[in-house]
């Protein structure tokens, strides 16, 4: 019988959240038998004939910074090196989530890259695997797939998120020559800023309609709007069309800061004091340098095997046809964090960027918001219409949801609830109906041996004097079972995502694991 070999796994210096401690133990246990576990790390033992298989997993560990096999050298994991691209040195006491191209943009609702990576390892994905994120947002899962060394495809309905996601991927996967040309080109565009005088000429160059220009003028001081439009036009002339989006993405990361919007406010409250000037060129230049240096450092750490990763603009309720047109079915794994039930208005929170970058006209913002799953916008007429269809829709949803909705309607009936609360039952029924349609499609596109991981949290709504708990994870799980998955649900206790501090938020997230029956 083959002998045993000891492997030492070293922990990161940051303090782990309780759920991370569980995932860390699971990562180690998937490689070998755990012998000791203390503050600095774990000792595991593997059969000598399994060391080769173990080695390929050791490099890809998420929650360990280094490993050593037997008396061999101490080797950093790829994750340690990637996190170092943000920290400079990985002695930071906080886990980094802005490493590589993740820091490109602060898209609201981003989730922890470490979780995506951990799940790829747990699914034992290989270089030929395809991972799908049907709510790809700013592309966290797709970027992690590139780091991990597998293929990825995302679907997303917010055009800003699609632009951000694809820009991050392009920066990581383009040739060295292209990246160098982009870097030099965009800095030249920044250096030229301040030479153009007329907002109207720039707006007409960029095909901005009058309503949209008026909107922009209400949110940016003239001197700042001039620089924004000038940067966009200059980049269009100087960079090739394939790099314009990336330049726009860089601009987008500072749009809030230079607008009249209160930067600390998620929605669209105005600053108390008008901002008349801002060092736009210096801000852009420093963003570019920061981004390029992290990107260059991360690119050195990628596997040689080229991977394909793309984020498609589309609606996940039509997932099957979006993926079929891209000829990317079936996929081996699904990792996603879907929108919460009536939680975060993704379009509203990115509206200034959407309009300033020409991704949406000002009058079209409302339509875009309404097309999102989980949105809170519904007119009185639409609500009446939705209410008349509610019982029929509830027939095809799990009984717990029907029970909850009926209780909510009953509580609102004899109260003086405002329109937001009265909208809730119809919006929730629509949300779970939409989720059912996405889950049905994910069942079709997922390989029979694959796993889908959905990370979602509960929230709550006030009815009468009482808070009612909206058990989204459990209900999504039950819907998943009804469309042909077996499920298990893990709690990720202290996981915090942006927006969870809102009144209706609850600081809890759950990981729903779904396997086709
Ligand atoms: C929680 S966020 C995902 C964030 C992502 N994991 C990241 O790290 O950036 C949910 C996303 O679902 C998107 N979404 C909402 N409705 C959609 C739909 N019908 N089809 C595709 N995406 C949709 C929202 O725009 C939002 O970006």
In a domain, 509, yes or no: yes
Cβ of residue 148 lying under 6 Å from some atom of ligand 1: no
125 and 80 co-located in one domain:
no
Quote the ligand 1 centre to 478 CA distance (angstroms): 21
Task: Tell the residue nearest (CA) to atom 26 of ligand 1.
Answer: 137
Quote the ligand 1 centre to 512 CA distance (angstroms): 17
Cβ of residue 109 lying under 6 Å from some atom of ligand 1: yes
At 107-124, the pLDDT tens digits run 988 889 999 999 999 999
Other CB atoms within a 10 A radius of the CB of residue 350 amount to 27
Ligand 1: which atom is nearest the Cα of residue 497? 1
329 and 445 co-located in one domain:
yes
Name the domain boundary from 46, 70, 96.
96
Pairing of strands 510-516, 75-76: unpaired
Residue 278 DSSP one-character state = -
Q: What's CA 231's distance to the chain center, in Å?
A: 27
Q: What pLDDT score was predicted for residue 2? A: 60
Q: Does residue 407 have a cis peptide bond before it, meaning omega lies within 30 degrees of 0?
A: no
Pocket test for ligand 1, best of 161, 353, 427 (most atoms within 8 A of CB): 161
Which domain, by its residues, includes 503?
A: 113-157+307-344+369-516
Q: What pLDDT score was predicted for residue 499? A: 45
Q: What pLDDT score was predicted for residue 329? A: 79
Q: What is the CATH number of the domain that holds 416?
A: 3.40.50.150
In a domain, 257, yes or no: no
Quote the ligand 1 centre to 131 CA distance (angstroms): 16
Quote the ligand 1 centre to 411 CA distance (angstroms): 31
35 and 122 co-located in one domain:
no
Quote the ligand 1 centre to 453 CA distance (angstroms): 15
Angle, CA 244 vertex, CA 239 and CA 248 arms, to 5°: 130
In a domain, 378, yes or no: yes
325 and 460 co-located in one domain:
yes
In a domain, 22, yes or no: yes
Ligand 1: which atom is nearest the Cα of residue 371? 19
- Residues with pLDDT less than 50, the chain: 1, 498-501
In a domain, 282, yes or no: no
Cβ of residue 130 lying under 6 Å from some atom of ligand 1: no
Quote the ligand 1 centre to 300 CA distance (angstroms): 30
Pocket test for ligand 1, best of 162, 339, 353, 430 (most atoms within 8 A of CB): 339
Taking a C-beta distance cutoff of 8 angstroms, is the pair 508, 485 a contact? no
Cβ of residue 137 lying under 6 Å from some atom of ligand 1: yes
**Cβ burial 214-228 (10 Å sphere, 16+ → b, else e):** ebbeebbbeebbbbb
In a domain, 50, yes or no: yes
Taking a C-beta distance cutoff of 8 angstroms, is the pair 141, 133 a contact? yes
Q: What pLDDT score was predicted for residue 327? A: 77
In a domain, 117, yes or no: yes
pTM of whole model > 0.85? yes
Pocket test for ligand 1, best of 98, 114, 372 (most atoms within 8 A of CB): 372
317 and 460 co-located in one domain:
yes
Q: What pLDDT score was predicted for residue 196? A: 76
Cβ of residue 161 lying under 6 Å from some atom of ligand 1: yes
Quote the ligand 1 centre to 204 CA distance (angstroms): 32
At 145-194, the pLDDT tens digits run 999 999 999 999 999 999 999 999 999 999 999 999 999 999 999 999 99
Q: Which three-class secondary structure state does DSSP give residue 507? A: coil
Other CB atoms within a 10 A radius of the CB of residue 367 amount to 12
Taking a C-beta distance cutoff of 8 angstroms, is the pair 457, 500 a contact? yes
490 and 402 co-located in one domain:
yes
502 and 386 co-located in one domain:
yes
Other CB atoms within a 10 A radius of the CB of residue 389 amount to 13
Quote the ligand 1 centre to 137 CA distance (angstroms): 5
Quote the ligand 1 centre to 136 CA distance (angstroms): 6
Cβ of residue 111 lying under 6 Å from some atom of ligand 1: yes
461 and 316 co-located in one domain:
yes
336 and 480 co-located in one domain:
yes
Q: What is the CATH number of the domain that holds 36?
A: 3.30.70
Ligand 1: which atom is nearest the Cα of residue 347? 25
Split into its structural domains, the chain has a count of 2
Q: What pLDDT score was predicted for residue 137? A: 97
In a domain, 213, yes or no: no
Compute and round to an integer the Cα radius of gyration of the chain.
24
Quote the ligand 1 centre to 247 CA distance (angstroms): 22
82 and 145 co-located in one domain:
no
Quote the ligand 1 centre to 321 CA distance (angstroms): 18
Cα separation, 99 vs 79, in Å, equals 10
Q: What pLDDT score was predicted for residue 91? A: 57
Task: Tell the residue nearest (CA) to atom 21 of ligand 1.
Answer: 156
Name the domain boundary from 48, 64, 96.
96
Q: What pLDDT score was predicted for residue 363? A: 93
Cβ of residue 510 lying under 6 Å from some atom of ligand 1: no
Strand partners, 512: 454, 489
Ligand 1: which atom is nearest the Cα of residue 155? 21
318 and 424 co-located in one domain:
yes
126 and 42 co-located in one domain:
no
Q: What pLDDT score was predicted for residue 505? A: 58
Name the domain boundary from 66, 96, 126.
96
Taking a C-beta distance cutoff of 8 angstroms, is the pair 497, 509 a contact? yes
């Amino acid at each position: 019988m083959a002998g045993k070999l000891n492997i030492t796994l070293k922990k990161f210096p940051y303090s782990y959240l309780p759920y991370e401690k569980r995932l860390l133990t699971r990562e180690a246990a998937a490689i070998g038998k755990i012998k000791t576990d203390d503050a600095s790390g774990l000792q595991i033992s593997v059969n000598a004939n399994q060391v080769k298989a173990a080695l390929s997993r050791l490099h890809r560990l998420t929650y360990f910074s280094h490993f050593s096999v037997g008396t061999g050298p101490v080797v950093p994991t790829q994750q340690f090196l990637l996190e170092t691209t943000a920290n400079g040195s990985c002695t930071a006491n906080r886990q980094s989530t802005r490493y590589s191209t993740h820091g490109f943009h602060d898209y609201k609702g981003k989730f922890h890259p470490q979780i995506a990576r951990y799940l790829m390892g747990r699914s034992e994905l290989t270089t030929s695997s395809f991972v799908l994120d049907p709510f790809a947002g700013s592309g966290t899962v797709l970027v992690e797939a590139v780091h991990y060394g597998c293929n990825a495809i995302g679907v997303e309905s917010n055009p800003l998120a699609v632009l951000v996601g694809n820009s991050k991927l392009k920066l990581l996967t383009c040739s060295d020559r292209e990246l160098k040309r982009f870097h030099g080109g965009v800095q030249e565009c920044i250096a030229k800023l301040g030479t153009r005088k007329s907002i109207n000429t720039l707006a007409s160059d960029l095909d901005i309609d009058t309503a949209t220009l008026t909107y922009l003028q209400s949110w940016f001081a003239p001197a700042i709007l001039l620089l924004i439009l000038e940067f966009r036009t200059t980049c269009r002339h100087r960079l090739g069309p394939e790099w314009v989006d990336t330049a726009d993405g860089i601009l987008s990361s500072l749009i809030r800061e230079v607008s009249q919007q209160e930067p600390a406010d998620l929605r669209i409250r105005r600053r108390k004091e008008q901002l008349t000037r801002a060092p736009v060129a210096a801000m852009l230049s420093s963003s570019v340098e920061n981004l390029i240096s992290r990107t260059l450092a991360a690119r050195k750490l990628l596997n040689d095997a080229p991977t394909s990763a793309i984020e498609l603009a589309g609606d996940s309720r039509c997932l099957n046809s979006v993926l079929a047109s891209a000829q990317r079915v079936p996929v081996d794994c699904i990792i996603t964090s879907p929108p919460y039930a009536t939680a975060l208005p993704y379009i509203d929170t990115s509206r200034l960027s959407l309009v300033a970058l020409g991704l949406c006209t000002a009058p079209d913002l409302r339509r875009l918001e309404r097309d999102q799953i989980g949105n809170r916008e519904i007119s009185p007429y639409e609500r009446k219409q939705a209410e008349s269809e509610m019982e029929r829709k509830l027939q095809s949803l799990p009984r717990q949801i029907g029970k909850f909705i009926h209780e909510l309607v009953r509580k609102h009936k004899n109260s003086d609830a405002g329109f937001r609360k009265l909208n809730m039952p119809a919006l929730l029924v629509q949300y779970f109906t939409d989720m059912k349609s996405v889950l049905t499609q994910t069942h079709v596109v997922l390989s029979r041996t694959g796993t889908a991981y959905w990370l979602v949290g509960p929230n709550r709504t006030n009815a009468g004097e009482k808070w009612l708990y909206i058990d989204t994870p459990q209900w999504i799980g039950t819907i998943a079972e009804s469309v042909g998955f077996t499920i298990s649900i893990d709690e990720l206790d202290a996981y915090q995502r942006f927006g969870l501090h809102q009144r209706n938020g609850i600081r809890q997230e759950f990981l729903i694991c779904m396997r086709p029956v």
